[in-house]
Protein backbone atom coordinates (compact mmCIF):
# COMPACT_ATOMS: atom_id res chain seq x y z
CA UNK A 1 0.00 0.00 0.00
CA UNK A 2 1.16 3.52 -0.67
CA UNK A 3 1.24 6.10 2.08
CA UNK A 4 -0.51 9.45 1.75
CA UNK A 5 1.08 12.29 -0.14
CA UNK A 6 2.90 14.76 2.04
CA UNK A 7 1.95 18.31 2.83
CA UNK A 8 3.00 20.74 5.52
CA UNK A 9 0.35 22.32 7.76
CA UNK A 10 1.07 25.66 6.11
CA UNK A 11 -0.51 24.44 2.86
CA UNK A 12 -3.88 23.84 4.51
CA UNK A 13 -6.77 26.30 4.10
CA UNK A 14 -6.99 29.09 6.62
CA UNK A 15 -3.37 29.00 7.72
CA UNK A 16 -3.45 32.75 8.32
CA UNK A 17 -5.41 32.19 11.55
CA UNK A 18 -3.67 32.36 14.91
CA UNK A 19 -4.60 28.74 15.59
CA UNK A 20 -5.69 25.88 13.30
CA UNK A 21 -9.40 25.18 12.90
CA UNK A 22 -11.09 21.76 12.86
CA UNK A 23 -14.54 20.70 11.64
CA UNK A 24 -15.99 17.39 12.89
CA UNK A 25 -18.29 16.06 10.18
CA UNK A 26 -20.63 13.82 12.15
CA UNK A 27 -20.03 15.34 15.57
CA UNK A 28 -23.41 14.19 16.95
CA UNK A 29 -22.36 10.53 17.22
CA UNK A 30 -20.56 8.84 20.12
CA UNK A 31 -17.05 9.24 18.71
CA UNK A 32 -17.74 12.71 17.32
CA UNK A 33 -19.00 14.01 20.65
CA UNK A 34 -16.00 12.55 22.45
CA UNK A 35 -13.56 14.13 19.98
CA UNK A 36 -15.32 17.49 20.26
CA UNK A 37 -15.16 17.40 24.07
CA UNK A 38 -11.45 16.63 23.93
CA UNK A 39 -10.65 19.31 21.36
CA UNK A 40 -12.63 21.90 23.30
CA UNK A 41 -10.11 21.55 26.12
CA UNK A 42 -7.16 22.37 23.84
CA UNK A 43 -6.32 26.05 23.60
CA UNK A 44 -4.30 25.49 20.43
CA UNK A 45 -7.26 24.39 18.26
CA UNK A 46 -10.45 26.13 17.18
CA UNK A 47 -13.46 23.83 16.65
CA UNK A 48 -16.04 24.92 14.07
CA UNK A 49 -19.53 23.41 13.99
CA UNK A 50 -22.27 23.29 11.41
CA UNK A 51 -25.88 24.16 12.23
CA UNK A 52 -27.82 20.97 13.13
CA UNK A 53 -30.29 21.46 10.27
CA UNK A 54 -27.40 21.58 7.76
CA UNK A 55 -25.51 18.47 8.91
CA UNK A 56 -26.66 16.56 5.82
CA UNK A 57 -26.41 19.50 3.42
CA UNK A 58 -23.43 18.81 1.10
CA UNK A 59 -23.05 22.45 0.03
CA UNK A 60 -23.02 23.74 3.61
CA UNK A 61 -20.54 21.08 4.68
CA UNK A 62 -18.28 21.82 1.71
CA UNK A 63 -18.35 25.53 2.54
CA UNK A 64 -17.27 24.80 6.11
CA UNK A 65 -14.56 22.42 4.91
CA UNK A 66 -13.14 25.30 2.88
CA UNK A 67 -12.77 27.36 6.07
CA UNK A 68 -10.79 24.90 8.18
CA UNK A 69 -7.37 23.28 8.29
CA UNK A 70 -8.55 19.77 9.11
CA UNK A 71 -11.78 17.77 8.95
CA UNK A 72 -12.54 14.77 11.16
CA UNK A 73 -14.96 12.29 9.59
CA UNK A 74 -17.19 10.52 12.14
CA UNK A 75 -19.52 9.05 9.55
CA UNK A 76 -20.62 5.68 8.11
CA UNK A 77 -18.23 4.37 5.47
CA UNK A 78 -20.18 5.47 2.39
CA UNK A 79 -20.79 8.93 3.85
CA UNK A 80 -17.07 9.22 4.70
CA UNK A 81 -16.19 8.50 1.07
CA UNK A 82 -18.67 11.13 -0.09
CA UNK A 83 -17.26 13.66 2.39
CA UNK A 84 -13.74 12.96 1.16
CA UNK A 85 -14.88 13.62 -2.40
CA UNK A 86 -16.33 16.96 -1.26
CA UNK A 87 -13.00 17.92 0.31
CA UNK A 88 -11.01 16.74 -2.72
CA UNK A 89 -13.04 19.11 -4.88
CA UNK A 90 -11.86 22.18 -2.99
CA UNK A 91 -9.02 24.44 -4.09
CA UNK A 92 -5.59 23.17 -3.14
CA UNK A 93 -6.91 19.67 -2.46
CA UNK A 94 -9.02 20.78 0.47
CA UNK A 95 -8.31 20.44 4.19
CA UNK A 96 -6.40 17.62 5.78
CA UNK A 97 -8.58 14.73 6.93
CA UNK A 98 -8.68 12.26 9.80
CA UNK A 99 -11.24 9.58 8.96
CA UNK A 100 -12.63 7.68 11.95
CA UNK A 101 -14.63 5.29 9.75
CA UNK A 102 -13.47 2.02 8.22
CA UNK A 103 -13.64 3.43 4.69
CA UNK A 104 -9.97 4.26 4.08
CA UNK A 105 -7.92 2.16 6.50
CA UNK A 106 -6.36 0.01 3.81
CA UNK A 107 -6.79 2.46 0.93
CA UNK A 108 -3.95 3.83 -1.18
CA UNK A 109 -3.15 7.44 -0.44
CA UNK A 110 -4.07 7.19 3.23
CA UNK A 111 -1.64 6.93 6.13
CA UNK A 112 -2.58 4.63 9.00
CA UNK A 113 -3.04 6.65 12.18
CA UNK A 114 -1.25 4.43 14.69
CA UNK A 115 1.84 6.52 15.57
CA UNK A 116 3.43 3.79 17.71
CA UNK A 117 3.15 1.16 14.97
CA UNK A 118 6.79 1.68 14.04
CA UNK A 119 9.50 4.29 14.46
CA UNK A 120 8.65 6.10 11.21
CA UNK A 121 4.87 6.28 11.57
CA UNK A 122 4.64 9.54 13.52
CA UNK A 123 6.60 11.33 10.80
CA UNK A 124 4.40 9.71 8.14
CA UNK A 125 1.25 10.96 9.88
CA UNK A 126 2.72 14.43 10.36
CA UNK A 127 3.41 14.74 6.63
CA UNK A 128 0.12 13.26 5.40
CA UNK A 129 -3.01 15.00 4.14
CA UNK A 130 -5.21 11.95 4.61
CA UNK A 131 -5.02 9.81 7.77
CA UNK A 132 -7.25 6.83 8.60
CA UNK A 133 -7.89 6.43 12.31
CA UNK A 134 -7.37 2.79 13.40
CA UNK A 135 -10.15 0.53 14.58
CA UNK A 136 -10.28 -0.18 18.31
CA UNK A 137 -9.78 -3.94 18.01
CA UNK A 138 -6.93 -3.70 15.47
CA UNK A 139 -5.15 -1.19 17.71
CA UNK A 140 -4.72 -3.89 20.33
CA UNK A 141 -4.06 -6.72 17.88
CA UNK A 142 -1.51 -4.85 15.76
CA UNK A 143 0.26 -3.56 18.87
CA UNK A 144 0.81 -7.16 20.01
CA UNK A 145 1.55 -8.89 16.71
CA UNK A 146 3.50 -6.45 14.53
CA UNK A 147 6.61 -6.24 16.76
CA UNK A 148 6.88 -10.04 16.83
CA UNK A 149 6.55 -10.34 13.05
CA UNK A 150 9.03 -7.51 12.48
CA UNK A 151 11.56 -9.16 14.80
CA UNK A 152 11.16 -12.60 13.20
CA UNK A 153 9.69 -14.16 16.34
CA UNK A 154 6.44 -14.86 14.50
CA UNK A 155 6.30 -15.88 10.82
CA UNK A 156 4.13 -13.75 8.58
CA UNK A 157 2.09 -16.84 7.70
CA UNK A 158 1.53 -17.87 11.33
CA UNK A 159 -2.09 -19.00 11.97
CA UNK A 160 -3.04 -16.18 14.34
CA UNK A 161 -6.25 -16.08 16.37
CA UNK A 162 -7.34 -12.82 17.95
CA UNK A 163 -10.06 -12.82 20.60
CA UNK A 164 -11.47 -9.57 21.96
CA UNK A 165 -14.18 -8.09 24.15
CA UNK A 166 -15.41 -4.51 24.09
CA UNK A 167 -17.89 -2.34 25.88
CA UNK A 168 -21.05 -1.73 23.89
CA UNK A 169 -20.14 1.89 23.04
CA UNK A 170 -17.94 0.50 20.27
CA UNK A 171 -20.89 -1.09 18.50
CA UNK A 172 -22.51 2.03 17.10
CA UNK A 173 -25.90 3.66 17.57
CA UNK A 174 -28.08 0.57 17.10
CA UNK A 175 -26.13 -1.54 19.59
CA UNK A 176 -25.97 1.26 22.15
CA UNK A 177 -29.75 1.64 21.97
CA UNK A 178 -30.35 -2.06 22.69
CA UNK A 179 -28.19 -1.88 25.81
CA UNK A 180 -29.69 1.41 26.94
CA UNK A 181 -33.17 -0.15 26.61
CA UNK A 182 -32.09 -3.26 28.53
CA UNK A 183 -32.93 -5.59 25.65
CA UNK A 184 -29.37 -6.76 24.88
CA UNK A 185 -27.77 -9.88 26.40
CA UNK A 186 -25.15 -9.61 29.13
CA UNK A 187 -22.49 -11.00 26.80
CA UNK A 188 -22.39 -12.18 23.22
CA UNK A 189 -20.00 -13.24 20.48
CA UNK A 190 -20.54 -11.67 17.10
CA UNK A 191 -18.87 -11.49 13.70
CA UNK A 192 -19.06 -15.28 13.50
CA UNK A 193 -19.22 -15.20 9.73
CA UNK A 194 -15.49 -14.38 9.99
CA UNK A 195 -15.88 -11.30 7.79
CA UNK A 196 -15.52 -8.56 10.41
CA UNK A 197 -14.65 -5.22 8.81
CA UNK A 198 -11.56 -4.81 11.02
CA UNK A 199 -9.80 -7.93 9.67
CA UNK A 200 -8.19 -6.30 6.58
CA UNK A 201 -6.35 -3.63 8.61
CA UNK A 202 -5.53 -6.14 11.35
CA UNK A 203 -3.84 -8.40 8.80
CA UNK A 204 -2.15 -5.68 6.75
CA UNK A 205 -0.60 -3.65 9.54
CA UNK A 206 0.31 -6.65 11.66
CA UNK A 207 2.46 -7.78 8.74
CA UNK A 208 0.61 -11.08 8.33
CA UNK A 209 0.37 -12.88 5.01
CA UNK A 210 -2.20 -15.34 6.36
CA UNK A 211 -5.66 -13.98 7.23
CA UNK A 212 -6.09 -14.10 11.02
CA UNK A 213 -9.16 -15.54 12.72
CA UNK A 214 -10.82 -12.72 14.64
CA UNK A 215 -13.53 -13.41 17.25
CA UNK A 216 -15.01 -10.22 18.76
CA UNK A 217 -17.48 -10.06 21.62
CA UNK A 218 -19.37 -7.41 23.56
CA UNK A 219 -20.17 -7.15 27.25
CA UNK A 220 -22.91 -5.29 29.07
CA UNK A 221 -20.75 -2.33 30.08
CA UNK A 222 -20.22 0.99 28.29
CA UNK A 223 -16.51 1.01 27.46
CA UNK A 224 -13.26 -0.84 28.02
CA UNK A 225 -11.48 -3.46 25.90
CA UNK A 226 -9.29 -6.54 26.10
CA UNK A 227 -7.65 -8.05 23.00
CA UNK A 228 -5.88 -11.41 23.37
CA UNK A 229 -3.70 -13.56 21.12
CA UNK A 230 -3.06 -17.17 22.30
CA UNK A 231 0.22 -18.82 21.26
CA UNK A 232 1.89 -22.23 21.43
CA UNK A 233 5.48 -21.15 21.99
CA UNK A 234 7.02 -24.27 20.47
CA UNK A 235 5.36 -23.50 17.12
CA UNK A 236 7.26 -20.20 16.82
CA UNK A 237 10.72 -19.96 15.21
CA UNK A 238 13.47 -20.64 17.74
CA UNK A 239 10.88 -21.67 20.33
CA UNK A 240 11.09 -18.39 22.27
CA UNK A 241 10.28 -17.99 25.93
CA UNK A 242 7.55 -15.70 27.19
CA UNK A 243 10.30 -13.35 28.35
CA UNK A 244 11.66 -13.21 24.79
CA UNK A 245 8.25 -12.01 23.57
CA UNK A 246 7.98 -9.50 26.39
CA UNK A 247 11.47 -8.15 25.65
CA UNK A 248 10.57 -7.75 21.98
CA UNK A 249 7.50 -5.67 22.89
CA UNK A 250 9.53 -3.61 25.36
CA UNK A 251 12.13 -2.78 22.72
CA UNK A 252 9.50 -1.84 20.16
CA UNK A 253 7.66 0.58 22.45
CA UNK A 254 10.62 1.97 24.38
CA UNK A 255 10.06 5.66 25.04
CA UNK A 256 6.39 5.61 24.09
CA UNK A 257 4.17 8.01 26.03
CA UNK A 258 0.94 6.02 25.67
CA UNK A 259 1.91 2.38 25.03
CA UNK A 260 3.49 0.41 27.85
CA UNK A 261 4.51 -3.20 28.41
CA UNK A 262 3.52 -4.44 31.85
CA UNK A 263 5.91 -7.08 33.14
CA UNK A 264 4.80 -10.55 34.11
CA UNK A 265 3.80 -10.80 37.74
CA UNK A 266 2.55 -7.22 37.96
CA UNK A 267 -0.06 -7.06 40.76
CA UNK A 268 -2.60 -5.34 38.51
CA UNK A 269 -3.41 -8.80 37.09
CA UNK A 270 -4.40 -10.26 40.43
CA UNK A 271 -4.95 -13.99 40.48
CA UNK A 272 -4.48 -14.24 36.72
CA UNK A 273 -7.41 -11.87 36.08
CA UNK A 274 -7.53 -8.64 34.14
CA UNK A 275 -10.20 -5.93 34.40
CA UNK A 276 -11.30 -4.67 30.99
CA UNK A 277 -12.40 -1.31 32.43
CA UNK A 278 -9.20 -0.37 34.28
CA UNK A 279 -7.93 2.06 31.59
CA UNK A 280 -11.24 3.80 30.95
CA UNK A 281 -11.03 7.58 30.53
CA UNK A 282 -7.36 7.35 29.53
CA UNK A 283 -5.52 7.10 26.21
CA UNK A 284 -3.20 4.41 27.51
CA UNK A 285 -2.58 1.05 25.84
CA UNK A 286 -1.14 -1.68 28.06
CA UNK A 287 0.45 -4.85 26.67
CA UNK A 288 1.12 -8.02 28.64
CA UNK A 289 2.50 -11.53 28.10
CA UNK A 290 0.91 -14.20 30.29
CA UNK A 291 2.50 -17.64 30.05
CA UNK A 292 2.83 -21.13 31.42
CA UNK A 293 6.36 -22.23 30.52
CA UNK A 294 5.72 -25.80 31.69
CA UNK A 295 3.05 -26.13 29.01
CA UNK A 296 4.91 -23.79 26.59
CA UNK A 297 1.79 -21.69 26.13
CA UNK A 298 1.29 -17.93 26.23
CA UNK A 299 -1.47 -15.37 25.84
CA UNK A 300 -0.64 -11.85 24.68
CA UNK A 301 -3.11 -9.28 25.98
CA UNK A 302 -3.76 -5.63 25.12
CA UNK A 303 -5.94 -3.45 27.34
CA UNK A 304 -7.36 -0.07 26.31
CA UNK A 305 -10.40 2.19 26.43
CA UNK A 306 -12.21 1.55 23.14
CA UNK A 307 -13.28 5.22 23.09
CA UNK A 308 -9.81 6.43 24.13
CA UNK A 309 -6.79 4.98 22.36
CA UNK A 310 -9.32 2.90 20.44
CA UNK A 311 -11.19 5.84 18.87
CA UNK A 312 -11.46 9.48 20.00
CA UNK A 313 -8.15 9.55 21.87
CA UNK A 314 -6.34 8.20 18.82
CA UNK A 315 -8.06 10.75 16.58
CA UNK A 316 -7.03 13.66 18.80
CA UNK A 317 -3.49 12.29 18.95
CA UNK A 318 -3.37 12.22 15.14
CA UNK A 319 -4.88 15.71 14.88
CA UNK A 320 -2.20 17.03 17.22
CA UNK A 321 0.57 15.42 15.18
CA UNK A 322 -0.79 16.71 11.88
CA UNK A 323 -1.37 20.27 13.10
CA UNK A 324 1.67 20.53 15.36
CA UNK A 325 -0.45 21.04 18.47
CA UNK A 326 0.35 19.56 21.87
CA UNK A 327 -2.39 17.15 22.99
* Alpha carbon 306 to chain centroid, angstroms: 8
Q: What angle do CA 243, 248, 250 make, to 5 degrees?
A: 90
Which residues, 6 or more positions from 146, have their beta carbon under 8 angstroms from its beta carbon?
117, 118, 205, 206, 207, 252
Annotated catalytic, 136? yes
Residue pair 35/74 in contact by the 8 Å Cβ criterion: yes
Catalytic residue, from 136, 143, 202, 319: name it.
136
Integer Cα distance of 175 and 133 in angstroms: 21
Catalytically active residues, by annotation: 136
Amino acid sequence: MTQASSSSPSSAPGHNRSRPAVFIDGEAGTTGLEIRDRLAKLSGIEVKSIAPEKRKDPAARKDLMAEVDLVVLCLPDDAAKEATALADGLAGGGPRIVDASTAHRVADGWAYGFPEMDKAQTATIRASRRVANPGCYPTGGIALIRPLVSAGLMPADYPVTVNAVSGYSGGGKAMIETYDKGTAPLFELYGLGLEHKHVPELQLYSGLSRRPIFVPSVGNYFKGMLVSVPLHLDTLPGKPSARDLEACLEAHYAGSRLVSVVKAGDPSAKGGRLDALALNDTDKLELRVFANEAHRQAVLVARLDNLGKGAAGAAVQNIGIMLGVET
